[in-house]
Amino acid sequence: MSNYMEKYKEWLENDFFDESTTKELEAIKGNEEEIKDRFYSELNFGTAGLRGKIGAGTNRMNKYIIMRATQGLAEVIKDHGKEEMQRGVAIAHDNRHFSDVFAKTAALVLAQNGIKAYLFDSLKPTPELSFAVRYLNCISGIMVTASHNPKDYNGYKVYWEEGSQILDDIAFPIQEKIKDIKNFSDITVMDERKAIDNELLIYIGKGIDNEYIGRVKSLSLRDEEVNKDIVIVYTPLNGTGNIPVRRVLRERGFENVHVVQEQENPDPNFPTIDYPNPEDVRAFEYSILLGKKVNADILIATDPDCDRLAVMVYNGSEYVSLNGNQTGAILIKYILEALDEKGQIPENGVIVKSIVTGDLGEKIAKQYNVKTVEALTGFKNICGKENEFEKSGEYSFLFGYEESIGYVYGTFVRDKDAVISSMLLAEAAGYYQTKGKSLLDVLEDIYQEVGYTSEGPFSLVLEGIEGKERIKRMMVHVRENPPKEVAGKQVVDVIDFLTQDKIDVGKTNALKYTLDDGSWFAVRPSGTEPKIKVYVYTNGATKVESDKKAEAIQADIRKILDKIE
């Protein structure tokens, strides 16, 4: 009998698993492909936690996988000593199916291990969890979320005491502890009433909300100089952003905020979209309709756990989408311009971006004598740099961002934060409107100052075991057979982030190729989704020239990857 069939039988016949799990497994009897997909591997606890499809099985997100991961985390915390156990763990969840169940399950596993759990009493955005870890002086944090993945996914992210997602120094020990757990039945949860009575489960909510919102508002850079009558359409995409984003904008005096009714309230089924990712312009379909109706100046969308933000801007005839690099550049310009006016840019100010984020923000930062430092992809690495600088004093962190529409300003949240970003973007749009400019005009100003750039990112989605193996083959091929010429340009430099020592960022499975005109592209497998991602960046004397280069490079790379079976 194959290994996956043995595991399936073990789950099916084990009394430890509840009735709904057994029924779900009974329903797939005889469906070998489905059984294989659910049991051919373990859902790996990666360097940021877990993410996968919801369902019964070892390769699915379910409460048993949550219990095992949390037990692994508990063992690591216990190894740090009793004081750290007393500091406790903050836990929040988004609006996904079973998110509340998974969050409470994690809290009760911790309680059973004598570790205090601070559990939010309702759904919250990811950045508020990061804030809570710091505010409550916790040793760790757990966020149950699948971010912008489709509706049948969920996830589990782990944070450490700084408020940022764990890095290898914590992730690897947790992985080892998880491996030591041989049977799910070895993990027990404490009764909720007992946990509350023993002060091992503490529900939190409004008090933390107020503190967080207050800190967000404190990041305001301009107030009286801003036109707060600017017309904004906002969609939380049926996620967690509805209450905090609207509250911040309201309390800052932005009265003309119109919310997309169909996407206003939390809904794990995301009824209006297949893929609740605001990076995809299709997520704006309802926003555009409402925008035209109310004559909106900007459309803002946040993803389900409200850590990422996307924007569209009216150009006089239609709404134009800004990508993550462009939005990041506008925010950097707005922030540094305002700080410079106030004389508040520190001498050792720094911006942190990922290795696959474009260079536009760096060019703006240079104008203000602010350094830009690179980190590996993901905000765990961006904020990991911030943590390093806080300890060393080498730099003062100002702003972190990545091309995948994640941004953070300030230091009280150590993750990307769409609540902060929404406020600053509304403020910037309102401020520039008093100067007779839209955000598109500001972007054009940036291009005029530092040069035109274009992006041509794309992904190939390859699901299942076969897809996973094909992605591996693609990475091996481009690593072992680097192209010498792309779109008529010579490749003049290759950085293999698995082996490189040119940049102090650490190791990851990614490759970056620089062409003889300064354009570059990078290739990497996604860490959270079944896809290989390609990033393309070009420059030119005009936007048209730059765009054409991006299209040509993108076409050539697609040809290379398509040939790899």
Give yes or no for a contact between 349 and 398, defined as CB atoms under 8 angstroms apart. yes
Mean pLDDT (whole number) for 484-499: 94
Please tell me the distance from the alpha carbon of residue 74 to that of residue 66, in angstroms, as a whole number: 12
Give yes or no for a contact between 116 and 87, defined as CB atoms under 8 angstroms apart. yes
Return all residues near 311 (Cβ < 8 A) that are at least 6 apart. Answer: 298, 299, 300, 301, 321, 322, 327, 425, 439
pLDDT tens digits, residue range 447-462?
Answer: 999 999 999 899 999 9
Please tell me the distance from the alpha carbon of residue 247 to that of residue 419, in angstroms, as a whole number: 10
Report strand pairing: 257-259 vs 232-235: parallel
Percent of the chain residues topping a pLDDT of 70: 99
Q: Which of 155, 204, 208, 166 is nearest to 80 (CA)?
A: 166
Residue 268 confidence (pLDDT):
97
For residue 46, pLDDT over 80 is answered with no
Give yes or no for a contact between 374 and 355, defined as CB atoms under 8 angstroms apart. yes
SS3 217: helix
For residue 413, pLDDT over 90 is answered with yes
Mean pLDDT (whole number) for 429-442: 98
pLDDT tens digits, residue range 176-231?
Answer: 999 999 999 999 999 999 999 999 999 999 999 999 999 999 999 999 999 999 99
Please tell me the distance from the alpha carbon of residue 151 to that of residue 270, in angstroms, as a whole number: 7
Which pTM does this prediction carry?
A: 0.95
Which of 99, 130, 140, 147 does the annotation list as catalytic? 147
Structure tokens at 69: 């991961």
DSSP category for residue 502:
S
DSSP category for residue 449:
H
Other beta carbons within 10 angstroms of residue 204's beta carbon come to 19
User: Which is more confidently placed, 528 or 375?
Assistant: 375
Point out the least confidently predicted range of 196-205, 396-405, 410-419, 538-547: 538-547
* DSSP codes joined into one string, 242-283: HHHHHHHHHHTT---EEE-GGGSS--TT-TT-SS--TTSGGG
Give yes or no for a contact between 148 and 307, defined as CB atoms under 8 angstroms apart. no
Residue 531 confidence (pLDDT):
92
Q: Which amino acid is at 463?
A: E
- As beta bridge partners, residue 301 has 235, 310
Please tell me the distance from the alpha carbon of residue 245 to that of residue 418, in angstroms, as a whole number: 8
User: Which is more confidently placed, 45 or 5?
Assistant: 5
Please tell me the distance from the alpha carbon of residue 298 to that of residue 308, in angstroms, as a whole number: 16
Please tell me the distance from the alpha carbon of residue 142 to that of residue 121, in angstroms, as a whole number: 14
Please tell me the distance from the alpha carbon of residue 263 to that of residue 290, in angstroms, as a whole number: 12
Give yes or no for a contact between 70 and 81, defined as CB atoms under 8 angstroms apart. no
Based on the residue annotation, tell me whether 164 is a catalytic residue of this protein.
no
DSSP category for residue 239:
S
Which own/partner contact pairs does 186-191 have at CB distance under 8 Å and 24+ positions apart? 187/67, 187/68, 187/71, 187/109, 188/109, 188/112, 189/67, 189/105, 189/108, 189/109, 189/111, 189/112, 190/108, 190/109, 190/111, 190/112, 191/108
Please tell me the distance from the alpha carbon of residue 563 to that of residue 554, in angstroms, as a whole number: 15
SS3 508: coil
Distances (CA, A) of 214 to 334, 342, 426: 21, 22, 17
Q: Which amino acid is at 489?
A: K
Residue 524 confidence (pLDDT):
94
For residue 161, pLDDT over 50 is answered with yes
SS3 234: strand
Mean pLDDT (whole number) for 139-159: 96
The residue behind tokens 């109310």 is 294
Give yes or no for a contact between 340 and 368, defined as CB atoms under 8 angstroms apart. yes
Split at pLDDT 50, 70, 90, the class of 505 is confident
Mean pLDDT (whole number) for 506-527: 92
Residue 371 confidence (pLDDT):
98
Q: Which amino acid is at 387?
A: N
Give yes or no for a contact between 121 and 128, defined as CB atoms under 8 angstroms apart. no
Residue 545 confidence (pLDDT):
94
Q: What is the CA radius of gyration of the chain?
A: 24
Give yes or no for a contact between 14 and 185, defined as CB atoms under 8 angstroms apart. yes
Domains of the chain (ranges; CATH) run 41-204 (3.40.120.10), 223-321 (3.40.120.10), 325-452 (3.40.120.10), 453-562 (3.30.310.50)
Split at pLDDT 50, 70, 90, the class of 530 is confident
* DSSP codes joined into one string, 306-355: S-BEEEEEE-SSSEEEE-HHHHHHHHHHHHHHHHHHHT---TTEEEEEET
Mean pLDDT (whole number) for 319-338: 98
For residue 271, pLDDT over 50 is answered with yes
Q: Which of 274, 304, 299 is nearest to 286 (CA)?
A: 299
Return all residues near 61 (Cβ < 8 A) that are at least 6 apart. Answer: 43, 50, 51, 52, 53, 54, 55, 98, 102, 146, 153, 154, 155, 156
For residue 2, pLDDT over 80 is answered with no
User: Which is more confidently placed, 397 or 502?
Assistant: 397
Q: Which of 265, 278, 281, 246 is nearest to 148 (CA)?
A: 278
Point out the least confidently predicted range of 289-303, 398-412, 483-497, 501-515: 501-515
Residue 500 confidence (pLDDT):
84
Percent of the chain residues topping a pLDDT of 90: 92
How many Å separate Cα 237 from the centre of its chain?
A: 15
Report strand pairing: 298-302 vs 201-204: unpaired
Split at pLDDT 50, 70, 90, the class of 1 is very low
Helix (H) or strand (E) holding 373: strand 371-375
State the average pLDDT for the chain. 95
Mean pLDDT (whole number) for 404-421: 98
- As beta bridge partners, residue 140 has 89, 160
Mean pLDDT (whole number) for 32-51: 88
